[in-house]
Amino acid sequence: MWTEVTLKQILLITDGCSNVGTDPVYVAQTAREQGVTVSVIGILDDGALGEQGQREAENIAQAGGGMCRIIRAADLSHTMQMVTQRTMQLTLQQVVNKELRQIMGQDQTALPPDLRTKVARMVETGTEEVELQIALVVDVSASMTSKMASVREAIRDLEFGLAARGGSHRLVVVTYPGVSGEDAQMLRMEGESVADAVGAMRTAGNTPTGPALQLAVRALRELSGNTSTTSAVRKADDEEGRMRHYVV
């Protein structure tokens, strides 16, 4: 029932505050309006994140309908997988609750315990079966130099985790700033893993977070063949609990 569902996520990894280019909070809000969820992982170690950076990270995630976690680099691998999984669950839960309100006039919390359990299991199954399109947006500014080994390890673990799911996935990576002076670039891997490609990046320059997020939105749109980034999902049938077509 979930095999026709496509969820789109952007996961931003940064240790600093945006200092050039478009407002990243505005970009995240625009992405959300197009059906893309934006989450942020802020890294504290030896960076320039600070209070302003943490506030910006939280605002980006809030505008993008996603999650924000402020962590140490050593916790990046676990956090990246947790945020990806939890974001899928929250997105599917929102869709199911919306449909329950339309069909039954109430959301999952108002259902009898046995039906709540069935809905929860349905959402859990969905996280394993839906198609996931995810864009990793990785800050490779100068302050990230000491953290790139952790980033490479975390991305490799994420690749393994995605491959173990029943549903298909597409993974693209945007790094910023670009190596040739551009604000951001999309990595195009031929015969190498995403983790190795990111690990080979040279860190330098400013922190153009907004333009990087804009490129990520375009990259996800390209994965869908330049079609709308809204996701086709299935909604609950009020008699048999099956799912029927719905567009978020």
Q: How far is CA 39 from the centre of its chain?
A: 5
Residue 243 lies in a domain: yes
Residue given tokens 């298909």 in the structure block: 168
Instruction: Provide the pLDDT for residue 143.
Output: 85
Give yes or no for residue 244 having a pLDDT over 80.
Answer: no
Residue 26 lies in a domain: no
**Cα separation values, 212 from 23, 184, 228, 245, Å:** 11, 5, 20, 33
Domain residues for 114? 6-12+75-142+149-247
| Helix ranges (DSSP H) in 22-75 | 24-33, 50-63
Residue, of 7 and 94, whose pLDDT is higher: 7
Q: What is the mean pLDDT of residues 140-166?
A: 88
Of 158, 169, 182, 173, nearest in space to 21 by CA: 182
Of 245, 234, 214, 236, nearest in space to 34 by CA: 214
Give yes or no for residue 191 having a pLDDT over 80.
Answer: no
Query: What CATH number corresponds to the domain at position 157?
Result: 3.40.50.410
User: Per-residue confidence at 43, pLDDT binned at 50, 70, 90?
Assistant: very high
CA trace torsion 54, 57, 62, 66 (10° rounding): -120
Instruction: Provide the pLDDT for residue 12.
Output: 97
Residue 66 lies in a domain: no
Residue 183 lies in a domain: yes
Residue type, 174: V
End-to-end CA distance of the chain: 16
In the predicted model, what is the mean pLDDT of the chain? 80
Residue 191 lies in a domain: yes
Residue, of 2 and 189, whose pLDDT is higher: 2
Residue 238 lies in a domain: yes
Sign of the Cα torsion 1, 120, 35, 139 reads negative
Relative to beta strand 185-187, strand 6-14 is: unpaired
Of 111, 57, 58, 121, nearest in space to 89 by CA: 121
- Cβ neighbourhood burial of 151 (10 Å; 0-12, 13-18, 19+): buried
Structural domain total, the chain? 1
Residue 130 lies in a domain: yes
| SS3 state of residue 96 | helix
Residue 233 lies in a domain: yes
